[in-house]
Structure 1
Amino acid sequence: MAMISGGTRGGFTASINMTPMIDVLLVLLIIFMVVQASLQRGLSVHVPAPKTDGPVSPPGTESLVLEVEPGGRFALNQKQLDGARLTEELQAVFANRPRKLLYVKASEQLSYGEVIHAFDASRAAGVDIIGLMPGH
């Protein structure tokens, strides 16, 4: 706080020195920017370009599609899988495959956590590339 003497009536006038407050504010701003940048996490996925003609289907006949259904149910190429043992079942399927590619198909009504559970189980099973397909 600075004191200014004089004035029209000859008394002291108190005014706040803003320079230290602005310095503290800028340091805090820099700290928050650095912390925010380090907290950002993302999920790296390959999303194919949308086609305008006909339904979307994965390329190749050997493609595997993991469907995430409401209620924690999963199906791999129309075959129902046990949700509690999803990682083990996917490991068994991908054990002898040289190309570890899986397409995940989920409905828009599912929660983010249910879809990420399928991603995590696929990564734990050794899948290298996970593609997204539009849901039903």
Structure 2
Amino acid sequence: MAMSPFAGDDDDGLMNEINMTPLVDVMLVLLIVFMVTIPVIHHAVKIDLPHASSQKEDAKPAQINVSVQEDGTVLWDGTQVDDAALRAKIATAAQTTPQPELHLNADRKVAYEKVAQVMSAAQSGGLTKIGFVTDPAHQ
């Protein structure tokens, strides 16, 4: 008497070959899918694209150096200006193309209120590119 129900069976009844019918079915389905999709892939629409020159533009925007000194005076490219002249110069600079970059250099001891006023004047005048210049030697 055997312990396992399959212990008495011989291996004579097992099939030793791979059933090729499902493999052929899958291959035929893939062939049909590819036959349908390949004409769609090769379908092209002719478009007239514009031609562009490959020359690089080197038009860098001008830089405007605005300095705020310790006593609160404002220098526009080294020339002292008052608030009205500063706003007028910012308005004319904002109209140029390409728009110049405003480099703001403030003394460490100047009140932040004065720096904020210059930044506000630049923003209300239309300048969008404002950078801060720092001096790492005076940290």
Normalising to structure 2: TM-score of the pair? 0.48
The structure whose residues are more often strand, as a share, is 1
Larger radius of gyration: 2
The structure whose residues are more often helix, as a share, is 2
Normalising to structure 1: TM-score of the pair? 0.49
